[in-house]
A and B are shown apart, each in its own frame.
Chain A
């Protein structure tokens, strides 16, 4: 069965590159570029994994993540957080908010693919 990933990233070129490498790896990719309505999209799409950028227009990735973890339907959904701030404090912040994995930008494409495979249990 095809694994489904929802990519929430407001930078179109980054989203395009991630989409390309994931489709090539056999994923079904949906994407969304705004924070304010991201939760609705997550609930509608019901992905296997979410890739969530932190700095989003409308609402931050951390706020979205915290609300996901408070929602019984989304509490255990694996979330890979992408952040332009890669300090250990930012990593701790992501983990505190409920991130399953944290990858700092800029990243190696293979790192994203490997993380998602592992998170989806593939």
Chain B
């Protein structure tokens, strides 16, 4: 039976499966049966302490009850609410406090709404990209200028011919010739423009950024590129060419860079010895790096690109010195912002500010049901341009499921301010659409 989407429903399913009465579970977690009934029907949210108590009473991991794989659905709905909030106070505000109830009662409509929101986001990015292209593409700009110039000349000259009763024969002949020449020029410019736009349409879907195309490609492969693990690896071009996900040239360029780095990591940390080390040391990047004799960064990347099931479910984010995420592998329950900047409290950014200092930080991701993770973050400066070139810094954050019990010392983080419910956050840069965010 497929796992249900919501925490309350999962609590109920688990309770019924183990044959526990509602009153007994309520007593075990020190709440009233009526309140538990509301929770089980997704009419009340489950706080972190109660989730811990419920998971203990039901004999399951907290993550098994928490919002996990469905977080994308909730995020989509919250983004939809955010866009309404951004449209101004006159727009009707969705009842965010009842989002879980909405998803529980109308899962099909909720999925449709989240899907439409994703589609709107994609179309907005397309419009943005096309506007950008219109503004900065030199060929397009020159072609449009050519068209406008020819049209201006034709319109002005044709108006003279049409509106003037008496024109000297030599002027009349000259204007006829001008119109003829401009019509040729116009048709050539229009044909070039159409050919250019057609080619652009064929080569690029325009529906996503190059980075998103690469992410879709990697997600389809579960981030593991088996062809690069062999002694004689699959050529990069074979992996990248003709892949429907990698529709744009920019995406293929990013994908080639990813393949090159993946191959270098695979050579530095061959899969078989790495898996043996993982079995011996567990997923502690420092221990693995020590045993394998490499730096931390390749270990982070290797842990996030293992064959499915060969390691813990690891997420990985990488950012450049501007804080822009350049690689995103989500971990279940750890919501990554689809657009814009992430939560400034992520250890990733602390690592960026403290190059070469390894950071191990248990965190708690905000959400209807907060979920705990263990993160490792690290950054190192590079000087690819030598002594005279600029310093290039890249920070990485590995995201693993929490293995230890809640201590209360977990760092409270979110996905991004806009959809983070944490009130009174000292690092908040913009108001949240969620009431608690304030």
Contact = CB atoms under 8 A, between A and B. Distances in A.
A105 B159 contact: no
Interface string A103-122: 00111110000000000000
B253 interface: no
Interface in B278-303: none
Contacts of B163: 109
B152 A106 contact: yes
A36 B430 CA distance: 49
A20 B160 CA distance: 8
Interface in B402-432: none
Nearest to A18: B156
Contacts, number: 53
Nearest to B147: A84
Interface stretch (B1-9, B111-119, B174-182): B174-182
A108 B159 contact: yes
B151 to A, nearest CB: 5
- The SS class assigned to the A binding surface is helix
Nearest to B182: A13
B148 A17 contact: no
A21 B151 CA distance: 17
Contact of A107 (B156, B157, B171): B156
A16 interface: yes
Interface in A25-66: 55
B134 to A, nearest CB: 11
B148 A106 contact: yes
B153 A14 contact: yes
B160 A105 contact: no
B149 interface: yes
Contact of A11 (B153, B155, B174): B153
A29 to B, nearest CB: 14
B171 A20 contact: yes
A109 B156 contact: yes
Best-buried of A13, A55, A105, A106 by chain B (most CB within 10 Å):
A13
Contact of A84 (B148, B178, B182): B148
A84 B149 contact: yes
B149 A21 contact: no
Interface in B135-165: 144-145, 148-149, 151-153, 155-157, 159-160, 163-164
A107 to B, nearest CB: 7
Contacts of B149: 11, 14, 84, 105
Interface of A: 11, 13-14, 16-18, 20-21, 24, 55, 84, 105-109
27 contacts: A13-B157, A13-B178, A13-B181, A13-B182, A14-B152, A14-B153, A16-B174, A16-B175, A17-B156, A17-B160, A17-B178, A20-B160, A24-B164, A55-B145, A84-B145, A84-B148, A84-B149, A84-B152, A105-B148, A105-B152, A106-B148, A106-B155, A106-B156, A107-B156, A108-B159, A109-B159, A109-B163
